[in-house]
Copies of this chain bind each other. A is one copy, B any other.
Amino acid sequence: MIYLARATIRDIAVKAGVSITTVSLVLNGKELRIASATKKKIIRIANELNYRPNQLAVGLITKKTNTIGLIVPDISNTFFGELAKGAEKEASSCAYNIILCNTNDNPDKDVEYLNILLDRGVDAVIMVPSANSADSMAKKCLTLMEQCQKPLVLVDRIKMGEKHTSISVDHEQGGYIATKYLIENGHTRIGCITGPLGMLNSRLRFLGYKKALKDSDIRFQAKYVEEGNYHVEDGERLAEGLFENKVTAIFAFNDLMAYGVYKAAAKLGCRMPEDISVVGFDDLFYSSIMEVPLTTIHQPSYEIGEAAVRRIAELVKDENTKKEAIIFKPKLIVRNSVQNINR
């Protein structure tokens, strides 16, 4: 009972006494005129032989592999894990598969993987560009994909517009509502731990922070701002300086750094939120189960992944699909890490 080789279309043709053309036609439901007896016979035999088309052969000839490349900086980061999960789910439901590429935020890998994916005939790629990727790198990727006439969907850390679809939360608005919420709770000395300001998402959140201050006539002060690198350790290290500058609240540009603020507070005996309020960004799973659940800006990472694949499916079907950006609204998730200090 051991079949070393899978049945091919030829095996079916031989067994059914017809040509492989006919088999192909029937199995793909292309020729409706074929005698229903022949049709039934072919289908029966295909089932008997457990026939499944070799997708390499199909892809080679149709120039379509039903395959999408997904390039992320770090799949073990919950944010990208959720994104991948959403993308995979949507892909699976349209008979696509995902080829996973993890760059560790190495910009060279962005291009390297893109080429490899193209070698494998992917129909499109979803890419979260590496943190330190120069704009020239993103351009290179876009050019590569354009030459092949294949969609590139840029996600989260978006560099430029126009010729491709980009998907992201509205980072600026996220920064704005996070800061606004702190202001509404009576805070005026609001520290800010940004992400790398070389990254657009970080610059946009920073813009939102400054805009919210301005709208409330609170003077922006550079001494309340520290540039982090999106890691827990940065949050911890940078929070200490902010504490010394007497901030009553800190807006950390991601949840990870917010956790770092928690650690710094614990180390220095600051109570949360009585002595120091914190708002994060991302809404990672952990944020809801902490002892002091973190108030944060929710990013719909799962939905972003879904949306990326959905847009690709549209793009592949109809090249004229508009390639404009998809912007998700950020949402403030109020939990317990902010103290109202209005009297």
Q: CB of A70 within 8 A of chain B?
A: yes
Is A281's CB within 8 Å of the partner chain B?
A: no
Q: Determine if A4 and B102 form an interchain contact, defined as CB atoms under 8 angstroms apart.
A: no
Contact A116 B97 (CB under 8 A): yes
Interface size class of A (residues with CB under 8 A): 35 or more
In A107-161, the 8 Å CB interface with B consists of 115-116, 118-121, 146-149
Identify A99's interface contact among B100, B116, B121, CB under 8 A: B100
B residues near A41, Cβ cutoff 8 Å? none
Is the C-beta of A203 less than 8 angstroms from some C-beta in chain B? Answer: no
Q: Are A100 and B81 in contact (CB under 8 A)?
A: no
A6 contact set on B, CB distance < 8 A? 118, 148
Q: Is A168 an interface residue (CB 8 A)?
A: no
Chain B proximity of A267: nearest CB distance (Å): 11
Question: Closest B-chain residue to A102, C-beta based?
Answer: B88
Question: CA separation between A262 and B288, bound complex, in Å?
Answer: 13
Task: Tell whether, in the assembled complex, residue B115 and residue A52 are in contact, meaning their CB atoms are under 8 Å apart.
Answer: yes
Q: Which of B88, B101, B147 contacts A3 (CB 8 A)?
A: B147
Given contacts A99-B99, A262-B291, A263-B289, contact A119 B65 (CB under 8 A): no
Assembly stoichiometry (copies): 2
Contacts A59-B56, A77-B81, A81-B81 given; does A120 touch B97 at CB 8 Å: yes
Cross-chain contact of A74 among B80, B85, B115, B259 (Cβ < 8 A): B85
Return 29 A-B CB contacts under 8 Å, by A number. Answer: A2-B146, A2-B147, A4-B148, A52-B115, A55-B120, A56-B59, A57-B60, A60-B60, A67-B120, A74-B85, A75-B84, A75-B85, A75-B88, A76-B82, A76-B84, A76-B285, A78-B78, A84-B102, A88-B102, A97-B100, A97-B101, A97-B116, A98-B100, A99-B99, A100-B100, A259-B289, A262-B289, A262-B291, A286-B286
Bound-state CA distance A286–B260 (Å) is: 11
* Residues of chain B contacted by A102 (CB below 8 angstroms): 84-85, 88-89, 92
Closest to A76 in B: B81
Residues in B whose Cβ lies below 8 Å from that of A88:
75, 100-102
Chain B residues with Cβ below 8 Å from A100 are 70, 84, 88, 97-100
